[in-house]
Structure 1
């Protein structure tokens, strides 16, 4: 169905006159009349009864006018939202992050973002697979390495290191190791080496497993690893940002840690002006600043 003809039909039905509709559309009466006839022919129906005093909608015309009236209202609402979007943040935002970072760090903090922007709808996609941002599989990503895809805006957020942690209750029961070799007396909880993860974390796990550790629990993501540690199952290899989420955890063997892992926020170049992206980026940056301050206060 031709959109331009529908627009002209709506104007005629609303005005009840070809002449008045033509004036509002800046078209001649004959041009308006031709478009109405063409629409009626395409639908194989009559939309107006023609009278000397004007036009009256037929039953079929009433049905179509109801539809175009609804369309017009939605278009007006969309126009208003677009005009207001200079200040307002609304709509869907698809965010991708790793399972560990998304569940441990990001998701618990979203309360403030929703409080500031209640009309924002976030689709949080947590997986280790790197989604294709230029192909719009997601709008914005938080990644544990610098994105290599072209046409992305990238911002380094912070650095992470994998370290060893346990609960005070676990250490009170089983003791605190003073040397890596003493891990043989403990259960090690870690992200499985064959699971998708940053190379620095995998390298640390491989180093630890080169020692004799008879009791082990491997999990395919850091959220599961954290749950094992919080439930006193053993000593876990975890990213250091968990200490802000679970401040009671005790760092074990402080000299043992992974290499630095950079954390980047990235989004497609064409979304540079997106208010949703800006709101999310500013929120993440602010939360990282708050986390750093808390960690400094705890030190």
Structure 2
């Protein structure tokens, strides 16, 4: 059926039905329900709306489409020819909506795709990389792009999906989570101590050989000068590197005394913590862009990283300093050697 004003007018000459500017999917859904139920009353009952509310939404929908969708008489509600065209279009919209929802569910369930994680080189090499096996076993379809570098990635510029820093990022339009605290100490190998002895104070330390990491030249220089005021680098340093892994293994092989986090006792190089107070805690921060945080695979990575630095589980990330010799008393998880890449810290038998 069609409206009285259009009877006898060829369909191609009638005003065109316009749904290109349709913005109210809710009204379209109500229109479809009226068509399927055959009456305003039945549709209202099915939608838990009043009849007047349904009629108002249909009137709104007719204004949006620019055409009469129904005619009403004593026998009920009848769809016009133009209304039939709109039904077809709205059903396609409905099907497309279901496709989007199914795709969304599929993506959420599959959790596939790539997640870019930027982290400082030491934490990435010694702490995250060995433990990411857990994440990949739980989410085998997610590709983790782990970028280890001393320069912090800027998630506000989408340089990474998630980033871990050793200083609080200054960007305003990002989400921040304080993960824990890293406590730095002086360390030396058994070989070095056997040959040169173990210093017990800063005054004794300046008589020894140091191997230090200078990834950020300015920050490293300031730290050196604050701990050794008036002392030249040339008087103390026998080696400096730009990456923590090279720094660590140089110290582990007896090149000199180095500075590492308190968890260095578990890294496999048989290092011994020195009783020289350093008092250099570093807060560990996680940052991500708000938009990235709504992507399921990124959200799962964020949650996993927060747990990976949980101070309640891992005492070396606690607010207060826990001496490495106390780890066995305060840490109740799996063996430390399994957390840090599987290196054995015990004598081979």
Using the size of structure 2 for normalisation, the TM-score is 0.56
Distance change in 2, residues 1:214/1:137 (3 Å): closer
Structure number with bigger Rg: 2
Tell me if structure 2 keeps the 8 A contact 1:166–1:249: yes
Distance change in 2, residues 1:130/1:288 (3 Å): closer
**Of 140, 146, 150, which aligns to 2:168?**
146
Cα offset for 1:141? Answer: 0.3
Structure 2 alignment gaps of length 5 or more: 1-84, 90-98, 318-323, 330-349
Deviations along 1:148-173, one digit per CA (max 9) or x if unpaired, are: 11221110001123221112232122
Deviations along 1:163-198, one digit per CA (max 9) or x if unpaired, are: 211122321222111222323442201112xx3279
Asked if residue 83 in structure 1 is aligned to residue 102 in structure 2, the reply is no
Tell me if structure 1 keeps the 8 A contact 2:120–2:164: yes
Cα offset for 1:293? Answer: 7.7
Counterpart in 2 of 1:298? 328
Cα offset for 1:91? Answer: 0.8
Asked if residue 231 in structure 1 is aligned to residue 253 in structure 2, the reply is yes
Tell me if structure 2 keeps the 8 A contact 1:244–1:291: no
**Of 291, 306, 321, which aligns to 1:270?**
291
Counterpart in 1 of 2:120? 98
Distance change in 2, residues 1:81/1:170 (3 Å): farther
**Of 182, 189, 195, which aligns to 1:173?**
195
Tell me if structure 2 keeps the 8 A contact 1:88–1:275: no
Counterpart in 2 of 1:6? none
CA distance in 2, matches of 1:147, 1:187: 34
Cα offset for 1:81? Answer: 5.2
**Of 223, 226, 235, which aligns to 1:204?**
223
Cα offset for 1:79? Answer: 7.6
CA distance in 2, matches of 1:82, 1:208: 57
**Of 265, 270, 273, which aligns to 1:251?**
273
Query: What are the within-5 Å matches in structure 2 for residues 13-24 of structure 1?
Result: none
Distance change in 2, residues 1:247/1:234 (3 Å): closer
Partner SS, residue 83 of structure 1 = helix
CA distance in 2, matches of 1:286, 1:127: 22
How many residues get paired? 223
Tell me if structure 2 keeps the 8 A contact 1:205–1:237: no
Deviations along 1:99-153, one digit per CA (max 9) or x if unpaired, are: 2221122212111111111111011122222323122121110011111112211
CA distance in 1, matches of 2:256, 2:268: 15
CA distance in 1, matches of 2:169, 2:206: 38
CA distance in 2, matches of 1:183, 1:257: 15
Structure 1 alignment gaps of length 5 or more: 1-22, 28-75
Query: What are the within-5 Å matches in structure 2 for residues 150-161 of structure 1?
Result: 150-161=172-183
Cα offset for 1:238? Answer: 1.8
Tell me if structure 1 keeps the 8 A contact 2:176–2:288: yes
Partner SS, residue 272 of structure 1 = helix
Asked if residue 122 in structure 1 is aligned to residue 144 in structure 2, the reply is yes
**Of 299, 306, 310, which aligns to 1:285?**
306
Which of the two has greater strand per residue?
1
RMSD between aligned residues: 3.0
Using the size of structure 1 for normalisation, the TM-score is 0.65
Cα offset for 1:87? Answer: 3.6
Distance change in 2, residues 1:164/1:203 (3 Å): farther
CA distance in 2, matches of 1:157, 1:197: 25
Deviations along 1:235-284, one digit per CA (max 9) or x if unpaired, are: 101233433434842111332232x2111111001123222222222222
